[in-house]
Amino acid sequence: MNGEPVVLALASAAADADVLAVEVDGAMAVLLVRHPQSLSSRAVRERLLAVAKDAGIRNLAVELVDDDDAASRLPRD
Amino acid sequence: MTAAVAETEISARALEKESRLLEWLARQPSVLVGFSGGVDSAYLACVAHEAVGADRVLAVIGRSASYPAEQWAAARAVAAKAGLHVLETDTHEMDDARYAANPSNRCYFCKTELWSVLGHIARERGIATIVDGTNADDLGDWRPGAQAAREHGVHSPLADAGLTKAEIRLLSERRGIPTWSQPSSPCLSSRLPYGTPVTVERLSQVERAERALRAMGITGDLRVRHHGEIARIELDPALLGEWLQPARLRAMRDAVLGAGFARVAVDLRGFRSGSLNVLAGVGTA
């Protein structure tokens, strides 16, 4: 995961979701997670959306990554 | 004010607006309704049927690849239940390079084609007035298609009467029109960000993905937004907690992968109209 502040803030706000990576493309961001259970909590989602909004991200989405795919989905840079 | 009193007042206002609508329609010798089978046009067609007379109202369905097949089946069913005269015709907006390029005013080119075709039908049949289902809420939204309607002399009597979507649903329920609780369903091209060319293949991917998700039992508002290899799913916000459970999230992902996307993401804010507009800097979401 790269060290941009918004990426770190989103990963932190995602609580126990085990964020593998955060892809930011303009006003859209995708969180790649292994354990999405915590995201079913409205409070966690609202915290994430608040962080995203502060960073100018209007569309924030979550992508589930299975354990056996995790290594191939890690950022290469 | 209690909820019951508030509801009564809303209902009274809606009925007053409906009376104005009926009066206006009754003054038209004959009416052609641009009919998609959605909440607004179904209500308008049914009210016109009452005010103008069954034999002087024609509901016309303009078919193209940008609407899912289920929509046409629903439109036919609504028309049959209401006893509407229906005509189905093909439109060819996909052949217009200006539409296919998917600019932010894409809807203008689509509606130009639609109203050209429907205008021709109206002239051929001597129908005096063409109407569409634009409602009062639509007036504040980014709707370049409305310009095409104006250019073709199309009236928007629901908007002129000040009827909002909520009021149209309420009035539809009172009249027993089955679309009253139906989620809004704009054309499939609205799932592609502006600038992404509209192709039959992309529309088909979206259509298959949404159909697969509906087959899993997802109700309410639903959109699959096309971001190249990624499908971004927007669900009714009230259902998000339920569908973000790991097993269900996995099932959704597998269903949408089967529709031809390489990756699947679920939007954490849920459905809102025009969420792709914010990426293009037009309208709000």
Whichever domain contains B232, its CATH number is: 3.30.70
CATH number of the domain that residue A49 is part of? 3.30.300
Domain finish residue from B181, B206, B228: B181
Q: Are strands A19-25 and B129-131 parallel, antiparallel or unpaired?
A: unpaired
Indicate whether B26 belongs to any domain.
yes
pLDDT at A18 over 90: no
Q: How far apart are CA B85 and CA B112, in angstroms?
A: 24
Based on the fold, state whether residues B196 and B174 are members of the same structural domain.
no
Instruction: At B130, give phi and psi (nearest 5°).
Output: -110, 135
Top pLDDT among A71 and A22 is at: A22
Identify which of B212, B9, B249, B144 has the alpha carbon closest to the alpha carbon of residue A66: B249
- Spell out, as residue ranges, where chain B has pLDDT lower than 50: 284-285
Structural domain harbouring B253: 188-280
The ipTM estimated for the assembled molecules is: 0.90
Distance (Å) from the alpha carbon of A31 to chain B's nearest alpha carbon: 8
Identify which of B88, B82, B113 has the alpha carbon closest to the alpha carbon of residue B98: B113
Domain finish residue from B165, B181, B197: B181
Does A62 touch chain B if contact means CB atoms closer than 8 Å? yes
- pTM of the entire predicted model: 0.84
* Residue in B253, B263, B267 nearest the CB of A59: B267
With H, G, I as helix, E, B as strand and everything else as coil, classify residue A9. helix
Based on the fold, state whether residues B47 and B125 are members of the same structural domain.
yes
Domain finish residue from B126, B160, B181: B181
DSSP run (H or E) holding A21? strand A19-25
Tally of domains within chain A: 1
Indicate whether B28 belongs to any domain.
yes
**Chain B hits for A64, Cβ within 8 Å:** 246, 249-250, 253, 264
Tally of domains within chain B: 2
Q: Count CB-CB contacts under 10 A for residue B180.
A: 17
Q: Are strands B129-131 and B57-63 parallel, antiparallel or unpaired?
A: unpaired
- Residue A15 banded pLDDT, cuts 50, 70, 90: confident
pLDDT at A74 over 70: no
With H, G, I as helix, E, B as strand and everything else as coil, classify residue B30. coil
Based on the fold, state whether residues B108 and B247 are members of the same structural domain.
no
Based on the fold, state whether residues B168 and B201 are members of the same structural domain.
no
Distance (Å) from the alpha carbon of A3 to chain B's nearest alpha carbon: 22
Q: How far apart are CA B50 and CA B22, in angstroms?
A: 8
Based on the fold, state whether residues B74 and B206 are members of the same structural domain.
no
Cβ B266 vs Cβ B243: under 8 Å: yes
The encoded tokens of residue B31 equal 């009416």
Indicate whether B285 belongs to any domain.
no
Q: Which residue has the tokens 């950022």?
A: A75
Based on the fold, state whether residues B217 and B158 are members of the same structural domain.
no
Based on the fold, state whether residues B174 and B192 are members of the same structural domain.
no
The pLDDT of A38-64, averaged and rounded, is 93
pLDDT digits (tens, 9 = 90+) for A35-50: 988 999 999 999 999 9
Based on the fold, state whether residues B85 and B13 are members of the same structural domain.
yes
Q: Are strands A59-64 and B263-267 parallel, antiparallel or unpaired?
A: antiparallel
Does B242 touch chain A if contact means CB atoms closer than 8 Å? yes
Structural domain harbouring A30: 5-73
Does A39 touch chain B if contact means CB atoms closer than 8 Å? yes
Based on the fold, state whether residues B201 and B233 are members of the same structural domain.
yes
CB distance A30–B246 less than 8 Å? no
